[in-house]
Chains A and B, each alone.
Chain A
Amino acid sequence: MTATVDVVEAIRVKRPTGSFRHDLRAVRVVWQREMIRFTRDRLRIITSLIQPVLFLFVLGTGLSTITTGSTHNVNLRTFMYPGALAMAVLFTAMFSAASIVWDREFGFLREMLVAPVSRWSIVLGKCLGGATTASLQGVIILALAGVVGVPYSLSMMVTVFGELLLLAFTLTAFGVMTAARITQFQAFMALNQMLLMPLFFLSGALFPLGNLPGWLQVLTRIDPLTYAVDPVRRTIFAHLHASPAMMARLNPGVTWGSYRVSTALELLIVAAMGIAMLGVGIWSFKSAD
């Protein structure tokens, strides 16, 4: 067991002083780890597709039997398609954030937090990783466009992908911010369950936000997810052929009083929330020594 030691000259490794470039390396490697784990976990890729596919094809097809008369040539599935995209991103992003809680329980979080890098690089890497995996998940649903009557247009696909990426980043930032505070896996998942469904239902993913009763109107405008689903729907509907009346009914946009919120402002809202929550997340991990 005790080996005789032939003295080998150890390779002297230069210890770099802390620098911004070093922090960027940390961002990259934390991101890479998310990617490795994502591609390795095929089961997770499939399970997170089940819900959006269920909503799109089962609920969408089922309900269309009562709505065909009123939606004319636009299928209900086509209408719900942006919602299904948002949903795929929603679940994957939350799952990525949950891995922080998971890492804490299995000790790996500590390996990252004791490293001589800035905390922001760990948190940012995690958020970017979650954003990438979640939008890749969205791409799978995006590939189903033809099945629900949405044309395969490159410019549309690219724009939608960008919008999903932004949404995924904000959602992961939210999850990471929460994970900094909630240290138990069960509690984290319970909180998610409690939040995700209301967010999803109120986001306009399943019904147009046009002629709603007052109370529901207010709730849908408060839901942050609303401002991520609407740009996706606008992008997709711009590539559909439907009568102006049908457009007005199915793609009314988000209104504040009489003001129709512009796509740019919607995306700005989502981005601002993402950055703010990222900031809180970084701050939480900094003070959690």
Chain B
Amino acid sequence: MNAAVAVRDLTKRYGDLTAVDHVSFDVAAGEIFGFLGPNGAGKSTTIKMLCTLAEPSDGTATVAGYDVRQEQGAVRRNIGLVFQDPTLDQYLTADQNLRMHAELYGVPRAELKDRMTQVLEMVGLADRRSALVSTYSGGMRRRLEIARGMLHAPRVLFLDEPTVGLDPQTRSSIWSYINDLRKREDITIFLTTHYMDEAEYCDRIAIMDHGRIVVLDTPEALKAGVGEDRVQITTVDDDAAIAALQEQFGITGRFAEGQLTFSVPSGEQFVPRLFAELGVAIKSVSVSRPSLDDVFMAHTGTTIRDAETVGNRELMRMFGARRRL
């Protein structure tokens, strides 16, 4: 029982669509573990199975040492959940929402008052605790949901896209709360995101695409593994430029986000040569150090934004296939 989450060959099929395809991984206790991937990659479906909200088609998983199929009640008592979509009662106050949650999760009454104050302070909402949730901003609601997810002192906190739809400033404040949380409580945090920059906060990242984990490592190791700088150019004739790249430099370029994109060991030194020798007029050029975007691209052959446009279509299909709860 050393791993907080242990997953073996977990699979979920909706009709002929395989949303999650034989996924295996372990999350150590105390870790911030991130699932990164475009919409429709299978992140949310995996989380749902781990939270006992969806029955796995195949494979096994344990959360906090309990089997997600055999011991649903024990799993639910030991996890906190923050969904993508809000699940607060807007017509109740923050306090009433927390109290409701505490009763549903059986938090002992003697400890409840202190614990409520503690989680509210943790997310900076203690002074607004008596206000109706309908008066809260989007960021405050998300913080309240995180506080509520923590109220019953779960061993594993699942955050499904905790910052989606929030402005950048609120996003970074949510992240500082998540970081605080990990330092204060003995907890494992399991989250999904499709923001590359947010994945940097995680101890380890699993990149998911088309229902599979394509790679799993620390952000640093992932970036080091890619190594090369990314160069993106626009030219007057991209087809000619692709051919010239191959011919002059032996580099295979591809189109991503509407730009001709390729990787070279040292971008700054390569650019002058590029201008001199390509033979096709260049309109713009940008060089970037390896980021998780490049990691994603190296492993999936596409950028996450391009994958989203395909992924969204798959998501639509999935929504057609299931429509309950």
A binding-site residues for B, Cβ under 8 Å: 1-3, 5, 7-8, 10-19, 22, 25-26, 28-29, 32-33, 36-37, 40-41, 103-104, 106-117, 183, 288-289
- Stretch of B101-109, B224-232, B248-256, B257-265 on the interface side: B101-109
Q: Which residue of A lies closest to B112 (CB)?
A: A13
Q: Which residue of B lies closest to A14 (CB)?
A: B108
Q: Which residue of A lies closest to B155 (CB)?
A: A15
The CA of A115 and the CA of B324, in the complex, are separated in Å by: 17
What are some 18 contacts across the A-B interface (CB < 8 A)?
A: A5-B179, A5-B184, A7-B183, A10-B153, A10-B186, A11-B114, A11-B118, A13-B115, A13-B153, A16-B77, A19-B106, A33-B100, A108-B88, A109-B325, A111-B101, A112-B104, A117-B106, A289-B53
Contact B92 A33 (CB under 8 A): yes
Shortest C-beta distance, A30 to chain B (Å), equals 8
The interface residues of chain B lying within 8 Å CB-to-CB of A112 are: 104
Contact B108 A29 (CB under 8 A): no
The interface residues of chain B lying within 8 Å CB-to-CB of A2 are: 172, 176, 179
The interface residues of chain B lying within 8 Å CB-to-CB of A1 are: 169, 172-173, 176
The CA of A81 and the CA of B100, in the complex, are separated in Å by: 38
Shortest C-beta distance, B155 to chain A (Å), equals 9
The CA of A2 and the CA of B51, in the complex, are separated in Å by: 30
Given contacts A3-B180, A106-B90, A115-B76, contact A22 B96 (CB under 8 A): no
Contact B51 A36 (CB under 8 A): no
Interface size class of B (residues with CB under 8 A): 35 or more
The interface residues of chain A lying within 8 Å CB-to-CB of B88 are: 107-108, 111
SS class of chain A's interface: helix, strand, loop or mixed?
loop
Given contacts A28-B103, A29-B104, contact A288 B73 (CB under 8 A): no
* Residue with the greatest number of chain B CB neighbours at <10 A, chosen from A14, A19, A103: A14
Contact B107 A288 (CB under 8 A): no
The CA of A103 and the CA of B325, in the complex, are separated in Å by: 11
The interface residues of chain A lying within 8 Å CB-to-CB of B54 are: 289
The CA of A107 and the CA of B176, in the complex, are separated in Å by: 26
B159 within 8 A of A: no
The interface residues of chain B lying within 8 Å CB-to-CB of A26 are: 103-104
The CA of A104 and the CA of B87, in the complex, are separated in Å by: 9
The CA of A183 and the CA of B108, in the complex, are separated in Å by: 34
* Residue with the greatest number of chain A CB neighbours at <10 A, chosen from B115, B180, B186: B180
B55 within 8 A of A: yes
The interface residues of chain A lying within 8 Å CB-to-CB of B96 are: 33, 36
Contact B176 A3 (CB under 8 A): yes
Contact A114 B51 (CB under 8 A): yes
Q: Which residue of A lies closest to B145 (CB)?
A: A111
Shortest C-beta distance, A22 to chain B (Å), equals 4
Interface hits, B65-96 → A, CB 8 Å: 73-74, 76-78, 81, 83, 85-92, 96
The CA of A183 and the CA of B96, in the complex, are separated in Å by: 26
